[in-house]
Chains A and B, each alone.
Chain A
Amino acid sequence: DIQMTQSPSSLSASVGDRVVITCQASQDITMHLNWYQQKPGKAPKLLIYDVKTPETGVPSRFRGSGSGTNFTFTITSLQPEDVATYYCQQCDDLIGTFGQGTRLDI
């Protein structure tokens, strides 16, 4: 199985801050990396697929980058509604595996 190591596990930031979350794969997954947002009490939502392609309707402040084994998720200007837990997921395998999640507070 491909293991995904996500960091940090939690972070607190202020409105307007730039927030960065990283995700490392245990082996090369090329560009097969997705990012999800889960707000409290809700189902997760796909934000970014294939490392950097935003899902339809996702605000432009959410960005993804990276390749191979190292990936980064950035919120360029944090908004109050971004309070959530964020997960990376590799989809190089048919059954994807998730990172441990990053809980983001304001």
Chain B
Amino acid sequence: EVQLVQSRAALKKPGESLRISCRASGYLFNNYWIAWVRQMPGKGLECMGIIYPGDSDTRYSPSFQGQVTMSADTSLTTAFLQWDSLKASDTATYYCVRQSMRNSLDIWGQGTVVVVSS
């Protein structure tokens, strides 16, 4: 079964760092882009950027450039999303998603809830 399994929810304080993960199984991890999608509470979907695990080619949406870092470990078939210094406005659900060969987002992780509060 093709699936993406994300790390558990995180409760952090402003200024703290965080790395969340997305473990892929059931397909050739190296050969598909992985997208990260943010959903703030009660709001819509925003694509933060994408990473190609095969060569770590990474593209960020302008709104998220410099705010987060995407990475991938092919030996673990896992993608990561990292913050160096969280803000309250980072509170959201974050989804990792496989981007199909037709550029549709066809396999979604279950989401990781991140809450940043003092």
Interface residues of A (CB under 8 A from B): 1, 32, 34, 36, 38, 43-46, 49-50, 55, 87, 89, 91, 94-101
Contacts and interface: CB of A to CB of B under 8 A. Distances in A.
A44 B108 contact: yes
Contact of A43 (B33, B102, B111): B111
Interface in B69-112: 95, 100, 102-106, 108-111
Contacts, number: 61
Interface residues of B, number: 24
B10 interface: no
B102 A50 contact: yes
A104 B110 CA distance: 22
Nearest to B48: A95
A45 B111 CA distance: 12
B44 A87 contact: yes
B13 interface: no
Nearest to A9: B44
Contacts of B19: none
B60 to A, nearest CB: 8
Nearest to A100: B44
B104 A34 contact: yes
A87 B45 contact: yes
